[in-house]
Amino acid sequence: MQQIIKSDHLTPDIEEAIRHIGHDKLFVLMDENTHDQCFPLLAGIPLLQKAREIVIPAGDTNKTIENLGRVWQLLTENGATRHSLLLNLGGGMVTDLGGFAAATFKRGICYINIPTTLLGAVDAAVGGKTGINFAGYKNEIGSFYPARTVIISSDFFRTLDRAAILSGYAEMVKHALIHSDSEWEAVLAYSFDEEDYSKLNELVFRSVKIKEDIVIKDPYEKDIRKALNFGHTTGHAFESFAMAREKPVPHG
């Protein structure tokens, strides 16, 4: 079962998660932005000092088979085996592509998701959906393959601009709408004028639990999990249209 950790102490929580999964080699997948802005926050973790870094271009338009192939190639060139561990550090593009790379390399290796965006934390990092865009369609090729562990920390949310925060908040609103009046009221009560990252992390964790409870009941989206597509079907169509016009829009 997928373990979801609400992290209040990022360094020891990541270190414990890595140690908990037996592995021979450790790889860290990032995009250019998370490599520069987020990876330095993990500098105090000794286990990561020997990890192989894999860096791909940022942006959802780079969630492609070409970059998937690059990840496979670098895993192969650096001697990854069926017992290696992949750590995906990034937003939804990184966790989607990295999860699919893990699902398909050597017929499946373990991976950990560390979402660095609010949207990634409440959406792509949890639930086991992995994939890439293909032929102009969002998430056209992929698999159901959950991360062993997802670590959610508001330390990364501090690097986000308001637009990125609101993009993730939109997903939290959706979860609240399909869950309960009380959750809806709690999410709407959050103030963006006085950022409280500890409170935001708690709301994110509750939002993730709503999704997780649904996924546990219907892991392969044959029934109740379809409720999580509320807003997504139309949204993905619009995103595909925007990508075709070379004017991509934020997922949120």
pLDDT digits (tens, 9 = 90+) for 81-103: 999 999 999 999 999 999 999 99
Rounded distance, CA 1 to CA 52, Å? 27
Ramachandran angles phi, psi of 195, nearest 5°: -60, 120
Rounded distance, CA 151 to CA 226, Å? 25
Question: What number is the average pLDDT over the span 62-66?
Answer: 97
- Name, in order, each residue with C-beta under 8 angstroms of 195's C-beta and a sequence gap of 6 or more: none
Rounded distance, CA 179 to CA 177, Å? 6
Residue 232, pLDDT score? 74
3-class SS of residue 97: helix
pLDDT digits (tens, 9 = 90+) for 95-138: 999 999 999 999 999 999 999 999 999 988 999 999 999 998 88
Give me the numbers of helices (H) and strands (E) for the chain, helices first please: 9, 8
pLDDT digits (tens, 9 = 90+) for 144-189: 999 999 999 999 998 888 889 998 999 999 999 999 999 999 999 9
Q: What is the pTM of this model?
A: 0.90
Using CA of residue 227, residue 171, residue 17, residue 78, what is the dihedral sign?
positive
125: which DSSP letter?
T
Helices (H), the chain: 10-20, 32-37, 65-77, 92-104, 118-122, 162-177, 181-188, 197-217, 232-244
Rounded distance, CA 63 to CA 59, Å? 8
